[in-house]
Structure 1
Amino acid sequence: MSLFSKKQSKKRGQVMIIIVLFFVSISMVIIFGVVNPLVRHISMARSVSISEKSFYTAEAAIEDVIYRYKFGLPVVSSNTFEIDGSSVSVTVTDGLNNKVVVATGDTNNYFRKIEAHLTAGAGVSFFYGLQTGTGGIFMSNNSIVKGNVYANGNISGNNGARITGSAYAANSASLNTNQSNELPLPPTESIQFGSSYNAQDVAQSFMVTETAPINKIAVYLKKVGTPGNLTVRIVNNNGDKPGTATLAQGTMSASLVTTSFGWVEIPLSSNPELVPGQVYWLVLDGGNNTSKYYIIGANSDYSNGVAKIGNQSTSVWNNTSPSGLDFYFKIFLGGLTGTINKVLIGSDAHAHTVTNSTVTANLYCQTGSGNNKSCNTSLPDPSPEAFPISDANIAEWKSAAESGGTVGSLNLSGTSSSLGPKKINGNLNVSNGYVLNVTGTVYVTGDINISNNATVKLSSSYGSNSGVVIADGNIYVSNNAVFAGSGQTGSYILLVSTNNSSNAINVYNNAGTVILNAQKGTINFANNAGAKSAVANRINLSNGATITYESGLINVNFSSGPSGGYDIVKWKEVE
């Protein structure tokens, strides 16, 4: 090969290298042009993902605080913890009826901060020292209510019974025939009773359709010969036959009944409130004589009950003949007027009838006698006042308690512990100086007995909020047992019994910072007992019992339940 050829070949190799390097350079430029933004995008996406994790961590922490407020769980003012590998710091700052919650999420030093503003719910209002349903208020010697009193029934006092504020005794709803079986006339069937021992009495079951006190009853009957008077009873249901618990009774004079069918009305000595959907029995109870008895009109048209023939004293009842008959009757609800009798009243008195009372301010009534002044008839009679707590409120509190789990009966004595939220299947007994620190709503399916210097108080985490302890059974507070709030103004324990008995809540000493509620039953105060406020169907105050109302009860906020805990008014991300 010539020298020229070698030179030409070398030049061509150099050109090829240059071309290759050129294309490699261009390729690298293209690759970096594509890859670099992609890398930046991936890095940015990773940063966003980490940042979002910090955000959701902070948000979860805020939701945890709100959940705790809703269900009455403890909340600390400052806390740091981990959620799925991310750290979060939470601070809670108290304001006037509001809280500011700030949560800062931290994932690999990517920080996100969320701030929520919570305001206290509307609260439950306890406007009166005492408030009752149709059962009314009964005040024994020298018992005192320091505040106002409202009864959807009567207020009855005795020597030295005193109300420092105003007293209201409301009328019930207007009289109405709620249940009846009265047509056709003459009746197509009849039931004979009182002619033999096993057919001495007759009974008819019924159900009312509204919650109201029973006023009177009427029956459509005639007599054969000269039978004796009948005792007319309203009793409970016991396995599809009349029970033995008499809720109300009256006497039907035999002289009002003739030998022809006719309606006879019987007033009742007491006027309990009947509950819709619950089965009751109307019993006509008398003697037996083969020639002196009664016959009551009947048919088989009443859909809410059935008649039975039998003997109330032996609780032996049988079907009518023919079976499935319903006797003729009428159940009258409402129509009762409120009365106040023998009470010293420090402010105004409001009732249809006021007797034997001393009223410092205005006496508003339609009729009266034995008072220190005449009735001022310028105002209408007071109307029934609704209770401050509904069944739905109580159900929500029970749910809050159940969120903390369930245990069996507890017998606590001698030391101290914390409890709540918790459901107790059974009874709760606290005695002998034991200190029970309530950290959430407590629901007891049985009875509660607090005695012998025991203390039940709210955890300081409640702040200015109030807490709830509920029993489906009866509640007993005795021997210097006391209740206390969290230590802050406006914090109380609400003690609730859902029982409808005459011993729903029984207090034998001054119970301290507690509100008592037994809207279906009776609260009994004895031996100089007291509380801040009490609501029940009926309240009995024995000698020297004292209720001292506090103005703060007009708006009581609970950490869970009807006050709604806290409402969220602001939720935002901050720097």
Structure 2
Amino acid sequence: MERQTKRKVNNQSGAAMLISVIFFLFISLAIISGLVSPTVREFKNANVNLSSKKSYFLAESGSEDALYRILKNMAISASESLTLDSNSATTTITDIDSSTKQITSLGDVSNYQRKTNLTLSTSAGVSFNYGMQIGNGGLVMSNSATINGNVYVNGNITGSNSAKITGTAIAADRTAEIVDQINDTGTPTNTIQFGITASTQDAAQSFITATSDVVTQISVYIKKVGTPSNATVRITADSGGKPATNSLATGTLSASSVTTSYGWVNIVLSPNVNLSTGTTYWLVIDANVSASNYYVWGANNAQYANGLGKLGQYGTTTWNNTSPSGLDAFFKIYLGGINSVISGMTIGQLGVGNASAHTVNNSIIAGNLYCQTGSGNNKSCDISEGDPTPLNFPISDSQVQSWKDYAVSGETQTGDINISGSGTLTIGPKKIVGNLYVSNNGILTISGTLWVTGNIVLSNQAQVKLSSSYGSGSGMIISDGTVSTSNSASFSGSGTTGSYMMMLTTSTSSSAINIANSAGTVILVAPYGTISFSNTAGAKEAIAKTINMSNSATLTYESGLANINFSSGPSGSWEVQTWGESE
């Protein structure tokens, strides 16, 4: 019997493979999903992070834009919008008080927001370290007039009938008022920029004097870019057509006395060395190096016959021609000076308070007496110290002009202003082409720098005060005419401690400022004229070419005056106090 072989068809052939493939597919999808999800998440996070960073830098851009406009005195509103790459930053400027601003900038990129805060405050550009600082005209005191504080005079101090200074009195030798050499033809057609790089760190101008005498003071026509530091002014000999590497006399160019506009700045020199006629000398301004903070010296081309300008580095032999070559800087050289005298004074109290001058006569000194000659004093001269060196005035012509410019930036009014009776007025910044009268309990509130081209007369309990918005800051009134107060008329600050009013006149009159009673918390300044105090008159600080005090007039210095912040002009330049991100 034939055996038949039966074959059974396996209908499940390949199922295992299919299951394996499906299983592998699911595993692969799971792995891919596990890999893709974090990647997508990281990609999203990267986009968020990028948008956040863009938002931050956009906010920074808004802050920097506002800061630049404020520093450059450009127009800017309380709220500004800056758009970059279709995204925006909103910047808000808030006046905390007259000496503090806050800049808040909010950057927004795809609804991701970052915020920065920047705080600005006014820098202190004017320091009053003496109860009185007086120029060549000197100080005259009589009839129990008293200064409670220290006095520095570039001239004589003369007293009679119980005149008294409770602190130290210094009478420096008087500086010359006659210019021996000068270059100031027209307005500057060229500039000498220095302090930018090492090769242009310092600027120099050679000169030859017409007479032989001591050099006491120089003036330069200068402005600044940014906020350079103080510079050293030097007089040197000539060395092969370049400045010598050692100084004959030096002085300090105070950066706070220089503004961003041209102006004359005076620098007193010491020691007072003798310059010989027919000999070449160099005036050198030795500055620090900063590409963004430097000085610009006004110049013209070959207008000064007795010298030329150079650029280089003091203390080395590396000096180069200006560009273009042959430029002459604007400068003045003052020669000559006279020894000063203190006479007829009571100086100091309780063993404290020194007197220092070339000559001191007929005076009572509580502390040390430094002089070269003297007679009729309560003690002998201590000749161990030389004659005092004259001081620069704390306020320069350039600063005064800057304050005037700020007043003009407000508005100009032509015609006199008269406030009387119960009348009140708030003004500033403003220029008044005319006179200002406040009388009979009238009240004038200053909300910004005020410039009066005429005279200012205050009488009969008139009040002139700063707006409360000044806070601890100080403000000013400038007059081109004379200023007088009488019958309890007074000045005052904002009401906050450390706030003062400054009353400054550019008058050259012998009656530039007349104070017939206590003037209140005021700083009186008459750099070219005379301030007179009488009848128990007083103030917190006085600076003038000449000061007369009589009939129990009293001035009391306050330590806060050593660092005054004015809310406009060069001493009110803004400095960054804080800068960072906020919530």
Tell me whether the two structures share a fold, i.e. TM-score over 0.5.
yes
| 1:471 maps to 2:479 | yes
Match of 1:150 in 2: 152
What residue ranges of structure 1 are gaps of 5+ in the alignment? 1-43, 180-206, 214-274, 277-302, 304-331
Match of 1:544 in 2: 552
Q: Which amino acid aligns with 1:418?
A: T
* Residue-by-residue CA offset, 1:178-235 (whole Å, 9 max, x unaligned): 49xxxxxxxxxxxxxxxxxxxxxxxxxxx9999999xxxxxxxxxxxxxxxxxxxxxx
Aligned residues: 383
Match of 1:395 in 2: 401
Match of 1:170 in 2: 172
- Tell me which of 491, 495, 503 is aligned to 1:487: 495
- Within-5 A mapping of 1:150-299: 150-173=152-175, 178=180
- Tell me which of 398, 406, 410 is aligned to 1:404: 410
Match of 1:355 in 2: 361
Higher CA-based Rg:
1
Report deviation, 1:113: 2.9
- Tell me which of 410, 419, 436 is aligned to 2:427: 419
**Moved beyond 6 Å, runs of 4+:** 50-54, 70-73, 79-88, 105-110, 174-177, 207-213
Question: Distance in 1 between the 2:337 and 2:125 partners?
Answer: 33
Report deviation, 1:53: 13
Match of 2:131 in 1: 129
Do the aligned partners of 1:53 and 1:107 also contact (CA within 8 Å) in 2?
no
Q: Which amino acid aligns with 1:387?
A: F
| 1:499 maps to 2:507 | yes
Question: Distance in 1 between the 2:212 and 2:411 partners?
Answer: 37
Question: Distance in 2 between the 1:360 and 1:430 partners?
Answer: 43
* Residue-by-residue CA offset, 1:242-278 (whole Å, 9 max, x unaligned): xxxxxxxxxxxxxxxxxxxxxxxxxxxxxxxxx99xx
Report deviation, 1:114: 3.2
Normalised by the size of structure 2, how large is the TM-score?
A: 0.58
Do the aligned partners of 2:439 and 2:461 also contact (CA within 8 Å) in 1?
yes
Q: 1:504 to 1:101 in 2, by over 3 A?
A: same
SS in 2 for 1:558: coil
Do the aligned partners of 2:92 and 2:103 also contact (CA within 8 Å) in 1?
no
SS in 1 for 2:338: coil
* Residue-by-residue CA offset, 1:134-155 (whole Å, 9 max, x unaligned): 1000001100000001111100
Question: Distance in 1 between the 2:211 and 2:464 partners?
Answer: 40
- Within-5 A mapping of 1:22-41: none
Moved more, 449-458 or 395-404: 449-458
Question: Distance in 2 between the 1:361 and 1:551 partners?
Answer: 21
Question: Distance in 1 between the 2:67 and 2:358 partners?
Answer: 53
Report deviation, 1:101: 3.6
- Tell me which of 519, 523, 531 is aligned to 1:523: 531
Question: Distance in 1 between the 2:509 and 2:483 partners?
Answer: 11
Match of 1:441 in 2: 449
Question: Distance in 2 between the 1:505 and 1:164 partners?
Answer: 24
Do the aligned partners of 2:60 and 2:116 also contact (CA within 8 Å) in 1?
no
SS in 2 for 1:397: helix
Q: 1:99 to 1:178 in 2, by over 3 A?
A: closer
Q: Which amino acid aligns with 1:484?
A: S
Q: Which amino acid aligns with 2:469?
A: S
SS in 1 for 2:403: helix
Normalised by the size of structure 1, how large is the TM-score?
A: 0.59
Root-mean-square deviation (Å): 4.2
Do the aligned partners of 2:63 and 2:91 also contact (CA within 8 Å) in 1?
no
Match of 1:454 in 2: 462
Q: 1:107 to 1:491 in 2, by over 3 A?
A: farther
Match of 2:382 in 1: 376
Do the aligned partners of 1:72 and 1:560 also contact (CA within 8 Å) in 2?
no
Match of 1:117 in 2: 119
Match of 1:191 in 2: none
Question: Distance in 1 between the 2:75 and 2:366 partners?
Answer: 44
Q: 1:86 to 1:381 in 2, by over 3 A?
A: closer
Report deviation, 1:130: 1.2
Do the aligned partners of 1:421 and 1:442 also contact (CA within 8 Å) in 2?
yes
Q: Which amino acid aligns with 1:354?
A: V
Question: Distance in 1 between the 2:579 and 2:441 partners?
Answer: 45
Match of 1:270 in 2: none
Question: Distance in 2 between the 1:508 and 1:377 partners?
Answer: 40
Q: 1:446 to 1:568 in 2, by over 3 A?
A: same
Q: 1:386 to 1:101 in 2, by over 3 A?
A: same
- Within-5 A mapping of 1:56-71: 59=63, 62-63=66-67, 66=70
SS in 2 for 1:392: helix
What residue ranges of structure 2 are gaps of 5+ in the alignment? 1-47, 182-209, 217-264, 267-304, 306-333
Q: Which amino acid aligns with 1:358?
A: I
Report deviation, 1:566: 2.1
Question: Distance in 2 between the 1:156 and 1:566 partners?
Answer: 41
